[in-house]
């Protein structure tokens, strides 16, 4: 059962309280607070990801996609993993598309992997404020910041003995 939030009632003196009132106000609201809408992906792929795109594109529209239904309010979005910058003088930019619109705008939420031809741990935590109630879709996106070379993301494939399993998740917070 998906937890449901009930707008708190203002109790009146001598008001008769029913089973439904108590269940909705106490049990359901406490369950909602304890188990908020959350979507989570931890990668364990056979191959790592690569891109040579200069525009933001989905890393993997199937595996790095989050879908959750919110009650409305704020949403916390988190990613951590390892990126490889296979070119000189640039970096790898990450962003999130939420319902078709990029959260970070411009050059994204972060640019990581700045060191030439090296693996770098990267992470971001983004707060999306005042998200409307309803069903939402999030996709992790990336691009290289210089128009040469290839960027890579470890995905649990054991590349070069680096068996890192990135996580991408979102949770409604109150």
Q: Is residue 137 part of a domain?
A: yes
What does the alpha-carbon distance between residue 28 and residue 24 come to, in Å, rounded to a whole number?
5
pLDDT tens-digit readout, 82-124: 988 877 777 899 999 999 999 999 999 998 867 777 788 999 9
Q: Strands 101-102 and 38-42, how do they pair? A: unpaired
CATH at residue 144? 2.60.120.40
The pLDDT score that the predictor gives to residue 133 is 93
Q: Is residue 65 part of a domain?
A: yes
Span 1-14, average pLDDT: 83
What does the alpha-carbon distance between residue 105 and residue 109 come to, in Å, rounded to a whole number?
8
Three-class DSSP category at 61: coil
The pLDDT score that the predictor gives to residue 75 is 98
Residue 111, beta-bridge partner list: 93
Q: Is residue 127 part of a domain?
A: yes
The pLDDT score that the predictor gives to residue 4 is 78
Helix ranges, the chain (H): 19-22, 29-34
Q: Is residue 78 part of a domain?
A: yes
User: Domain range spanning residue 142?
Assistant: 38-173
- pLDDT for 40 beyond 70: yes
What does the alpha-carbon distance between residue 56 and residue 54 come to, in Å, rounded to a whole number?
7
Q: Is residue 11 part of a domain?
A: no
**Winning range, highest mean pLDDT, from 25-29, 137-141, 170-174:** 137-141
The pLDDT score that the predictor gives to residue 103 is 97
pTM of the predicted model as reported, rounded to 2 decimal places:
0.86
What does the alpha-carbon distance between residue 63 and residue 44 come to, in Å, rounded to a whole number?
10
What does the alpha-carbon distance between residue 154 and residue 173 come to, in Å, rounded to a whole number?
29
Q: Is residue 53 part of a domain?
A: yes
22: left (phi over 0), alpha (psi -120 to 50) or beta: alpha
* pLDDT bracket for residue 162 (50, 70, 90): confident
Per the structure, the count of domains in the chain is 1
Q: Is residue 56 part of a domain?
A: yes
Q: Is residue 63 part of a domain?
A: yes
Instruction: Please name which of 83, 58, 100, 105 lies closest in space to residue 166, comparing C-alpha atoms.
Output: 83
- pLDDT for 69 beyond 70: yes
């Amino acid at each position: 059962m998906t937890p449901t939030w009930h707008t708190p009632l203002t109790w009146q003196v001598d008001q008769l309280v029913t089973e439904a009132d108590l269940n909705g106000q106490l049990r359901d609201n406490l369950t909602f607070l304890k188990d908020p809408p959350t979507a989570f992906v931890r990668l364990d792929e056979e191959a790592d990801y690569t891109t040579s795109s200069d525009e933001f594109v989905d890393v993997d529209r199937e595996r790095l996609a989050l879908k959750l239904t919110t009650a409305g309010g704020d949403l916390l979005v988190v990613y951590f993993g390892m990126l490889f910058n296979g070119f000189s003088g640039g970096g790898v930019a990450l962003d999130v598309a939420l319902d078709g619109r990029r959260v970070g705008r411009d050059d994204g939420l972060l640019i990581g992997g700045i060191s030439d031809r090296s693996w770098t741990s990267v992470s971001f935590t983004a707060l999306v404020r005042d998200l409307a109630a309803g069903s939402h879709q999030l996709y992790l996106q990336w691009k290289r910041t210089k128009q040469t070379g290839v960027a890579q993301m470890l995905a649990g494939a054991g590349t070069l003995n680096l068996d890192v399993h990135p996580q991408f998740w979102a949770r409604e917070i109150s």
